[in-house]
Structure 1
Amino acid sequence: MTSTTHDDTPVTIAGEGLEARTREMGGGMSVLWVRAAKGTDLGPALKGLPDDLCQCPHWGFLTKGRIKLRTAEGEETYEAGQLYYWPPGHAPEALEDSEFAEFCPTKELEEVIAHVKAQMT
C-alpha cells in the first residue's frame, strides 16, 4: 500500500500562479496535487498538444475554489466539494484561488507535465 500527503509529494511545477506536486502511486497511476491562483489559465501552456488541450484523464476532488474547464464541446464550472472526471481534451482555468487532488495515469501525466514545464520557460 502506498500513501502520501501534499507536503510529502515533490513539486514538479512552480511559478506563474501554479504549484503542481506529483508522485507515482503504483499500478500505473500517480497523484497530482494542484494549487492555482485566481486567473491561472493553463490554456496557453497546453498549446502544441493535440487540439491545444490536456490529453491526460483526471479523477479528482476540488477542495477549494472554482475551476472553469474548457473542452471542444464547451465549458463547465466546478466548485469546492465536487468530485470529478475530466477526460482527455480539456484546459482548466482558476476562477478563484483553487486547490485540488487528482489521480491520473502516470505516463500521460508525465507527458503533460513535461510539456507545460517547457512552455513556462
Structure 2
Amino acid sequence: MTAVTRDEAPVVFTGEGVEVRTQEMGGGMTVLYMRADQGMDLGPALKGLPDDLCQCPHWGFLTKGRIKLTTKDGEETYEAGQVFYWGPGHSPQALEDSEFFDFSPTEQLTGTLDHVTAQAQQE
C-alpha cells in the first residue's frame, strides 16, 4: 500500500503560476497534485505535443477554483467539488486560483511533464 499527502509528494515542476507534485502509487499510476494561479495557461508549454495538447488521461477531483479545459472539440469549465476525467487531447487554464489532484498513467504523465519542463526551460 502507498499513501501520500500533497505536502509529502515531491515537487516536479514549479513556475509561471503553477506547482506540480507527483508520487508514483503503483499499478502504473501516479497521483499528481497541482496548484495553479488564476490566469495560468498550460497551452504554451504543451506546444510540440500532438495537436499541441496534453495526451495523458487524468481522473481527478478539483478541490478549489475553476479550470477551463480546451480540446479539439471545444471548451468545458470545471468547478471546485467536481470529479473529472480529462481524456487525451486537452489544455487546462485556471480561471481562478485552483487546486486539484488526479491519477494518471505514470509513463504518459512522465513524458508530458518532461516536455512541459523542457518548454519552460527554453523560455
Structure 2's unaligned 5+ residue stretches are: none
Structure 1's unaligned 5+ residue stretches are: none
Q: CA deviation at 1:18?
A: 0.5
- What's the Cα RMSD here? 0.3
Q: CA deviation at 1:19?
A: 0.1
Superposition TM-score, scaled by structure 2 size: 0.98
Q: Which residue of 2 aligns with 1:15?
A: 15
Q: Which residue of 1 aligns with 2:60?
A: 60
Structure 1 segments of 4 or more deviating over 4 A? none
Superposition TM-score, scaled by structure 1 size: 0.99
Provide the rounded CA distance (Å) in 2 between the counterparts of 1:118 and 1:96: 26
Q: Percent identity?
A: 69
Correspondence 1:76 to 2:76: yes
Q: Which residue of 1 aligns with 2:41?
A: 41
Q: Which residue of 2 aligns with 1:26?
A: 26
Provide the rounded CA distance (Å) in 2 between the counterparts of 1:13 and 1:111: 13
Q: Which residue of 2 aligns with 1:93?
A: 93
Q: CA deviation at 1:14?
A: 0.6
Provide the rounded CA distance (Å) in 2 between the counterparts of 1:18 and 1:84: 19
Give 3-state SS (helix, strand or coil) of 2:112's partner: helix
Provide the rounded CA distance (Å) in 1 between the counterparts of 2:101 and 2:7: 13
